[in-house]
Amino acid sequence: MKKTIICIHLIFLLLYFFSPGYGHKPSQDIEPEVSLVIVPDETLMEEENDRSAAWLGYLLARVGWLQENVNLDRIDVTSYQISFDEEAYAREAMAEIWNELKMDNPENTDRYLDELVLIDENNFIREYIWIYLRKEHWEKMPDDLKLQEFLKWLSETLPEHKIETLGDLYLEKK
């Protein structure tokens, strides 16, 4: 039964992120020269639960963001690095997916995902990404971040928060 639920969730995610009605612009009929390779953490493949579905949703959101915002036909696969906007989009999508899954199964608990939902509900995803996941190549901080407000809220609300990342993706030439 659990496996069926996960399959349904994954089918929903695939349809959500890749159907033309949700902003995915199919490129020409030419096969792209770049593959997007998803590398989920081993634990996600072992668990087969809603937590895994949320993390796979994160990875699929990254794929969707790249397909929507990056010309994959012209990208140098060796220089690709995750962008701030890509990470923020994917973490926000994961928080929304987890929140939906919890509505269906309120007994679901995962400390990291529950805290991410709280961060998202308080509109601090972008601040969270900048503080916890910032990469060296993100040179300029976005102007709209409320870092002091976020840090105060974080210390009062989630003082023991620990970051998790259970998967990655990379590009390769076909």
Band (5; pLDDT cuts 50, 70, 90): very low
Instruction: Return all residues near 156 (Cβ < 8 A) that are at least 6 apart.
Output: none
Would you say residue 36 has pLDDT above 50? Answer: yes
- Supply the pLDDT for residue 73: 82
pLDDT band (50, 70, 90) for residue 174 = confident
Angle between the N-to-C axes of helices 111-121 and 84-104, in degrees from 0 to 180, rounded to the nearest 10: 110
Share of the chain above pLDDT 90, in %: 67
Confidence grade of residue 9 (pLDDT, cut at 50, 70, 90): very low
pLDDT at res. 121? 98
Q: C-alpha angle 107/52/112, rounded to 5°?
A: 65
pLDDT for 76 equals: 85
CB 93 within 8 A of CB 65: no
Q: What is the pLDDT averaged over residues 38-66?
A: 93
**Which domain does 52 fall in, by range?**
2-173
Whether 14 has a pLDDT exceeding 50, the answer reads no
CB-neighbour burial class of residue 171 (10 A; exposed 0-12, middle 13-18, buried 19+): middle
What mean pLDDT is predicted for residues 12-38? Answer: 55
Number of domains present in the structure of the chain: 1
3-state DSSP call for residue 117? Answer: helix
* CA distance linking residue 12 with residue 166, whole number of Å: 20
Q: What is the pLDDT of residue 32?
A: 61
Flag whether pLDDT at 171 surpasses 80.
yes
